[in-house]
Structure 1
Amino acid sequence: MNSIKGKTAIITGASSGIGEAIAKKLASEGANIVLAARREDRISTLANELKESFSSEVLAISTDVTSREDVEQLVKQAKEKFGQVDILINNAGVMLLSFLKNDLVDQWEQMVDVNIKGVLFGVHAVLPGMLEAGRGHVVNVSSVAGHEVFPTSAVYSATKYAVRALSMGMEKELAETAIKVTNISPGAVQTELTTHITDEEVQGMFKKMIPEDMKVLEAKDIAESVFYAVSQPDHVNVNEVIVRPVNQA
């Protein structure tokens, strides 16, 4: 495995959950960390924690991934601080499950903006620099919902299928370059995503969707998968990682 010590990684959606766990893991391995999220107070606190725990170089930048200008500024500031962006973790996402009949159009649009356009803006902002440098790694965090559709997930799954399709297209277009592309698809993970669901019908049935005897994944489990992908030797490109909890029944 290759060391990522001294490499610079941008992590979107870094204020909690999977993004926070990825930041801690990569910082523990010596990477320079750029934390990006809307909640400036949360990423500032995390930045201080990383600096104290791992003596890492950390930059926290308030970023709305639905804004092309914000994401461009994020990458610009990362380059000004560290010179080159080696790794982009497109992790920011929202999971607003709902029944289509309940017509929560604003939430459909929000998922398209964050889950798809947010990833595209990240790719747009880093890819020219990676091509010029002749190296780089883009990690897109999709979901098992990008492999399977279930009632209430139609729009969410559509956005995560789009992330997978984008990852596959990038891998094919960049196959003859030294730029790596990885799609990470987590299963059920204990994060705050489920607390954002407002559809009352979904809230009532959500606990039934996950068996009581199944231990869900922790955010750090996904962070380990990301580290596995980004620490492979130069000739190894891990394109797809699916991480599911084990049903212990």
Structure 2
Amino acid sequence: MDKVQGKVIWITGASSGIGEELAYQLAEKGATLILSARSANKLKKVKEECVTRFSAQVLVYPMDVSDPEAIKAAVSTVSEKIGSIDVLINNAGFGHTQAFLDYDFSRAENMFKVNVLGLMYMSQLVARDMKQAGAGHIINIASIAGKVATPKSAVYSATKFAVIGFSNALRLELKDNNIQVTTVNPGPVDTPFFDEFDPSGEYLKNVSSMVLSAEYVAHETVAAIGTKKREVNLPRSLSVASKLYALFPLISDFLVRTAFNKK
């Protein structure tokens, strides 16, 4: 029997990209899904696809993860309807690339609300129920950008550094409660994320050889469910690069700056 069959799995940011693909792959494996994102219409289409193709059990709960009250209401409602969550996949997030000296700070604040604070609050509320249930798994979708920063991604990289640091500490706190915490750190992924992150297309052009598919990232994320993996770094070449970055920071800074300042 597949390790996710019959499990209750909550995915945030499930209306497109990695989150949407996670929904399809988990529905195929027999999981019961809770899907959240801001767009009710997009979530409804993902649910219909899951039900039509896989006869999956799916609950749609539209939610803005930048709003703590919305998160609190969602967790309360879902707990009453379904009970304990077996797996929480914190996938909601967005990015924007721009020189920091020109950055609109209201955008920076919102990015931290979505990418970091919303993720933390979801984790806190759901983990409390997991603790009572005696088991659980929290998977936080971070980024290689949280390990290797690049020019014009100062704010986005900062949010992902925060997610990785939070996850590493939370893992230690929850270990005795039989709750696993895994961080998934993909490189650039071909999703609508880049419509906002990189409107000019320059970033994608610089990293074209490393761009991943949403299907691949979702597959590797699903494979981590039920394991004790601390983190999943994708692709593996960037995993090696992140280790070299830590060992040889001055050389790495020069190489990264040169690569991402190509015209």
Assess, with a 3 A threshold, how the Cα gap between structure 1 residues 190 and 132 changes in structure 2: closer, same or farther.
Answer: same
Equivalent residue number for residue 193 of structure 1: 193
- Which segments of 5 or more consecutive residues in structure 1 lack a partner in the other structure? none
CA contact (8 A) 1:197 1:203 kept: no
Partner residue, 2:70 = 70
Letter in 1 for 2:35: L
Q: Does 1:241 align with 2:232?
A: yes
Local SS of the residue matching 2:61 = strand
The answer for unaligned runs of 5 or more in structure 2 is 239-263
Could you tell me how far apart the structure 2 residues matched to 1:143 and 1:77 are? Answer: 30
Verify: 1:115 aligned to 2:115, yes or no. yes
Q: For the aligned residues, what is the CA RMSD?
A: 1.8
SS at the partner of 2:175? coil
- Mapped to 2, the partners of 1:207 and 1:44 lie a distance apart of 30
Q: Which residue of 2 aligns with 1:139?
A: 139
| Alpha-carbon distance between aligned partners in 1 of 2:201 and 2:180, rounded to the nearest angstrom | 41
Please give the per-residue CA displacement for 1:169-205, whole angstroms capped at 9, x wherever unaligned: 011111222111000001111011111147xxx7263
> For structure 1, which segment, 137-146 or 119-128, has the greater mean C-alpha deviation from structure 2 after superposition?
119-128
* Alpha-carbon shift at residue 2 of structure 1 (Å): 5.3
Per the TM alignment, residue 106 of structure 1 is displaced from its structure 2 partner at its CA by 1.7
Aligned to 2:95: 95
**What is residue 81 of structure 1 aligned with on the other side?**
81
Which 10-residue stretch deviates more, 177-186 or 72-81?
Answer: 72-81
Q: TM-score, normalised by structure 2?
A: 0.86
Q: Is the 1:143–1:160 contact (alpha carbons within 8 Å) kept by the matching residues of 2?
A: yes
Q: TM-score, normalised by structure 1?
A: 0.90
The answer for the alignment partner of 2:219 in structure 1 is: 224
Return closer, same or farther for 1:209/1:7 CA change in 2, 3 Å cut-off.
same
**1-structure distance, mates of 2:231, 2:191:** 22
Contact 1:215/1:245 (CA < 8 Å) preserved in 2? no
Determine the C-alpha separation between the residues in 1 that align with 2:210 and 2:166.
31
Higher helix share: 2
How far does residue 148 in structure 1 lie from its aligned partner after superposition? Answer: 0.5
Higher relative contact order (CA 8 A, sep 6+): 1
Contact 2:187 2:210 survives alignment (8 Å):
no
Question: Paired residue for 1:153?
Answer: 153
1:131-153 deviation digits (Å, cap 9, x = unpaired): 11100110000000000111011
Instruction: Report what 1:28 is aligned to.
Output: 28
What's the counterpart of residue 203 of structure 1? Answer: 200
